[in-house]
Amino acid sequence: MKRTTILIADDEAEIADLIALHLEKEGYHLIKVSDGREAIHAIQSQSIDLAILDIMMPKLDGYEVTRQIREQHHMPIIFLSAKSSDLDKITGLVMGADDYMTKPFNPMELVARVNAQLRRSMLLNQPTTENKLVLETGGLTIDPDQRTVILYGENIELTPKEFDILYLLVAHSKKVFSVENIFQQVWGEAYYESGNTVMVHIRTLRKKLGEDKNKNKLIKTVWGVGYTFNG
């Protein structure tokens, strides 16, 4: 049986060793690298199930590594960084990270978040007998198998979370989803004061859909309740 492989990319050897120590106790196979280029090489040369990335790495920073990963892979990505401002966290999530922890960190909390992300990834990748419908409304086409979004003939590049949010809203276009509902269904975890995470993804999703240029918003805010698709 194939062991789950986790990539740890951090130029601080002590931190990488500490993470590896706790994750090895969970039975995971660990690959440790110390810069961004090594991280990309590891992902291109072998099967990685989850990546833990520092942001301030030599050669390629964590943001650029994430951008390149997201061009071809949907594996969970957790940022573990000393950069702790709200802007840093928002940037990481917008770039395509699934979670963000700041240093210093509790190793057991990191293990819990790794386990949660892997559980969610496994559920999403399980074969299903349900038909995954291609959604079409107006000029918008969403293909869940290819994970593509086309708006009036133009391909819209979305992060995995942005895609999942859009598909959820469009598939239930008459329903209003609270921030808590969206987080639980898209992230597959219990809601833990992550309203800003959802709102940041909604904001960037709207921008990519060109809503800042149009009067008619595809994603409508229902004040005091949540969000709904306005197609």
Which pLDDT tens digits describe the chain residue by residue (231 residues)? 568 999 999 999 999 999 999 999 999 999 999 999 999 999 999 999 999 999 999 999 999 999 999 888 888 999 999 988 888 888 888 888 888 999 999 999 999 999 988 887 776 665 444 557 899 988 899 998 888 999 989 999 888 889 999 999 999 888 999 988 888 888 776 666 555 788 888 988 998 888 755 556 789 888 888 999 987
Q: Which segments of the chain are extended strands (E)?
A: 5-9, 29-33, 50-53, 77-81, 99-102, 135-137, 140-143, 148-151, 154-155, 219-222, 226-229
Confirm if 177 and 228 have CB atoms less than 8 A apart: yes
pLDDT attached to residue 190: 62
144 within 8 A of 195, measured Cβ to Cβ: no
Using DSSP's 3-state secondary structure scheme, residue 231 falls into coil
Q: Roughly what angle, to the nearest 10 degrees, separates helices 62-70 and 86-95?
A: 20
Q: What pLDDT, on the 0 to 100 scale, is given for residue 129?
A: 41
pTM for this predicted structure: 0.70
